[in-house]
Amino acid sequence: MTYTKIRRVSDALGLVAIAAARLLPLPGAARQMGTLTQLKDIGLFHSQGLIGGRWSDAHDGRTLSVNNPATGELLTTVPFMGGVETQHAIAAASEAFPAWSRRTAADRGKLLRKWFDLLLTHKDDLGRIMTLEQGKPLAEAIGEVTYGAGFVELYAEEAKRVCGDIIPSPYPEKRIFVLKQPVGVVGAITPWNFPLAMITRKVAPALAAGCTIIVKPAELTPLTALAAAELALQAGIPPGVLNIVMGDAVEIGAAMMASTEVRKITFTGSTGVGKKLMAGAAGTVKKISLELGGNAPCIIFDDANLEVAVKGTLAGKYRNTGQTCVCINRVLVQDGIYEKFAHAFVKAVSQLQVGNGLENGVTQGPLINEAALLKVENHVQDAVSKGAKVLTGGKRHSLGRTFYEPTVLGHATDDMLIFREEVFGPVAPLVRFKTEEEAIKLANDTEFGLSSYIFTENIARGWRVAEALEYGMVGINEGLISTEVAPFGGMKQSGLGREGSKYGIDEYLELKYVCLGNMKQTLP
Ligand code: ADP
């Protein structure tokens, strides 16, 4: 590669500037060339925040590293921002709000549509960036880009369908109207497990409704968010409408909470942090939507189609190496099918291919970090100490780092940690049950209520159990239920509000009742 080319690539990364400002050794940038030159459009790779349409560093120059979990390699550094930058971003979003909200819905929809087109045009690059920072297999990452872009397409269309209402008035001289208006500036905080889709499912409805937004992606996976933001700018979404800050999560969150200009918080992440944000939002009485942890049951009844049940449970459990909030956490298997299911399931699980997500054929990437690995180990050790049997896997993978063997545990019981908490890793505990009633009781025996799954060939049973499950989402004979057109969200301590579908945009709208009085009863 020529010096000019290297220089251009480094500039695109912001690494030359960073190196000059912070005395980062340039060889770090050079080390990255191999990986980065595989991007078709190097311009997607940004390593600065986005405030008011300008790519920005932290005011004090602090940075944080972004590493590839599959190799440990330093990908780049990004600004370690905090309260100061968040306030700047809030100011930019507030400034952009009046003009953006006054545009026609059709106009906002057109820009979102362009963004959607660009996301799909660049899906291979976005997928590659995602695999590099998050670890999921490339095919799965590209699949997430398509899924994530779907929210942008959906809300490009829904923007035009935000209709108000006229209510028949009980008074002859008055008329009653309902307007729907954007809530204002939105603060969005997102996790690392879906670096794109968790952002688009918030940003797209917010922008469609006429809101402006500040997004704080997870510090582990900011690069996909920044690449998507670059494409939003290219689509013509005006400066300040979409802002990205990352760094000190607590400070950024606190700045969003303290601001009277931020009228709405939308969060996906752990239940613990969600509760803190809910409490924080009380100070300024912000609207809030929360998509928190789950503890998904998957009930396999005796009358299930074995092949469908194995396939569905495999997909619902091991997607993203078990690191999604809708991942199956507990597999409840009825007595009569238990042995047959366990045998077929273990066979399927042992065929999963673990490795670097950029390698062909890999279906299971690494866990996101050491803490995630320790949690998985702890859950398995706890289960085994209480009588569970390891049917396959059960230990760290020979690849080292944070790779863990896809695992199935037999004889799991409700006193085990894994029955109570999300394992967020590739471990499926099989719990035996006898009756439908017992299965429902076990399934609902948790403070969480996000997703649930049932496998049965009996339609009446499927419907009956779906009604009885205290969960926001139920898959019947299906392990993959997420789609932008359906309302995604939980009951109980799994959250508030819904994302996606025609309902998702309501979270970003205020209802305003307008009463028109003194109407003349007769024509003049
Ligand atoms: P996970 O365990 O999946 O990482 P977290 O709830 O810790 O879930 O993280 C989800 C998002 O919330 C991330 O962007 C993270 O940086 C952010 N976050 C964590 N703690 C706080 C906090 N106290 N205030 C605001 N955001 C936070």
Write the single-letter amino acid at 501.
S
Whether the CB-CB separation of 205 and 233 falls below 8 Å is answered with: no
Whether the CB-CB separation of 411 and 387 falls below 8 Å is answered with: yes
Task: Determine the distance separating the centroid of ligand 1 and the alpha carbon of 377, expressed in angstroms.
Answer: 22
Task: Kindly report the backbone phi and psi dihedral angles of residue 319, in degrees, each rounded to the nearest multiple of 5, phi listed first.
Answer: -55, 140
* CA gap 155, 196 in Å, rounded: 16
Query: Which of 21, 15, 29 has its CA nearest to residue 61?
Result: 21
Task: Determine the distance separating the centroid of ligand 1 and the alpha carbon of 122, expressed in angstroms.
Answer: 28
- Predicted local distance difference test score (pLDDT) of residue 19: 33
Give residue 222's Cα distance to chain centre: 13
Q: What is the DSSP letter of 324?
A: S
Q: Band the pLDDT of 403: cuts 50, 70, 90.
A: very high
Q: What is the mean pLDDT of residues 383-397?
A: 98
Ligand 1 atom closest to residue 217's alpha carbon, by position in its atom list: 14
How many residues are there in the chain?
524
Q: Whose CA is nearest to atom 19 of ligand 1?
A: 249
Tell me the two tokens of residue 388: 């569970």
Q: Whose CA is nearest to atom 25 of ligand 1?
A: 253
Cβ within 8 Å of residue 328, ≥6 positions away? 296, 297, 298, 313, 316, 317, 428, 453, 479
* CA gap 316, 320 in Å, rounded: 10
Whether pLDDT at 29 is above 50: no
pLDDT in tens, 91-127: 999 999 999 999 999 999 999 999 999 999 999 999 9
Q: Whose CA is nearest to atom 14 of ligand 1?
A: 218
- Predicted local distance difference test score (pLDDT) of residue 522: 77
Instruction: Supply the mean pLDDT for the chain.
Output: 93
- Cα-based distances in Å from 436 to 302, 338, 444: 10, 14, 12
Whether the CB-CB separation of 497 and 289 falls below 8 Å is answered with: yes
- Cα-based distances in Å from 312 to 93, 306, 450, 452, 474: 43, 10, 17, 12, 13
Q: What is the mean pLDDT of residues 338-364?
A: 98
Q: Band the pLDDT of 37: cuts 50, 70, 90.
A: low
Q: Which of 194, 215, 273, 292 to mutate to test the pocket of ligand 1 (most atoms within 8 A of CB)?
A: 273
- Predicted local distance difference test score (pLDDT) of residue 36: 57
Whether pLDDT at 384 is above 70: yes
- Predicted local distance difference test score (pLDDT) of residue 315: 98
Task: Determine the distance separating the centroid of ligand 1 and the alpha carbon of 220, expressed in angstroms.
Answer: 11
pLDDT in tens, 277-321: 999 999 999 999 999 999 999 999 999 999 999 999 999 999 999
pLDDT in tens, 126-152: 999 999 999 999 999 999 999 999 999
Whether pLDDT at 17 is above 80: no
Q: Band the pLDDT of 10: cuts 50, 70, 90.
A: very low
The Cα diameter of the chain in Å comes to: 88
Strand locations in 411-508, DSSP E? 427-433, 448-449, 451-455, 473-476, 491-492, 495-496
Q: Whose CA is nearest to atom 7 of ligand 1?
A: 270
Ligand 1 atom closest to residue 276's alpha carbon, by position in its atom list: 23
| CA angle (409 as vertex; 402, 296 as ends), nearest 5 | 80
Q: Whose CA is nearest to atom 22 of ligand 1?
A: 250
Tell me the two tokens of residue 225: 């968010």
**What percentage of the chain carries pLDDT values higher than 70?**
93
291 is catalytic: yes
Give residue 165's Cα distance to chain centre: 33
Tell me the two tokens of residue 102: 């006054």
Tell me the two tokens of residue 458: 């009996």
Q: What is the mean pLDDT of residues 68-73?
A: 96
Q: Whose CA is nearest to atom 11 of ligand 1?
A: 191
Q: Whose CA is nearest to atom 27 of ligand 1?
A: 249
Strand locations in 28-144, DSSP E? 49-51, 54-56, 63-67, 74-79
Q: Say which residue, 15 or 296, is predicted with more confidence.
A: 296
Whether the CB-CB separation of 226 and 50 falls below 8 Å is answered with: yes
Ligand 1 residue neighbourhood (C-beta within 6 Å)? 189-192, 216, 218-219, 249-250, 253, 269-270, 273, 276
Task: Determine the distance separating the centroid of ligand 1 and the alpha carbon of 27, expressed in angstroms.
Answer: 32
Q: Band the pLDDT of 524: cuts 50, 70, 90.
A: confident
Which H or E run includes 287? strand 287-291
Tell me the two tokens of residue 401: 């780092």
Whether the CB-CB separation of 296 and 452 falls below 8 Å is answered with: yes
Q: What is the mean pLDDT of residues 470-475?
A: 98
SS3 letters across 220-289: CCHHHHHHHHHHHHHHCCCCCCEEECCECHHHHHHHHHHCCCEEEEEEECCHHHHHHHHHHHHCCCCEEE
Task: Determine the distance separating the centroid of ligand 1 and the alpha carbon of 248, expressed in angstroms.
Answer: 10
- Predicted local distance difference test score (pLDDT) of residue 305: 98
Task: Determine the distance separating the centroid of ligand 1 and the alpha carbon of 420, expressed in angstroms.
Answer: 21
Q: Band the pLDDT of 198: cuts 50, 70, 90.
A: very high
Task: Determine the distance separating the centroid of ligand 1 and the alpha carbon of 325, expressed in angstroms.
Answer: 14
Rg (CA), the chain: 24
Instruction: Pick the catalytic residue from 291, 405, 436, 499.
Output: 291
Q: Which of 64, 193, 270 to mutate to test the pocket of ligand 1 (most atoms within 8 A of CB)?
A: 270
Tell me the two tokens of residue 430: 């099989």
Which H or E run includes 128? helix 123-134
* Strand, coil or helix: 467: helix
Tell me the two tokens of residue 313: 């449970």
Ligand 1 atom closest to residue 280's alpha carbon, by position in its atom list: 24
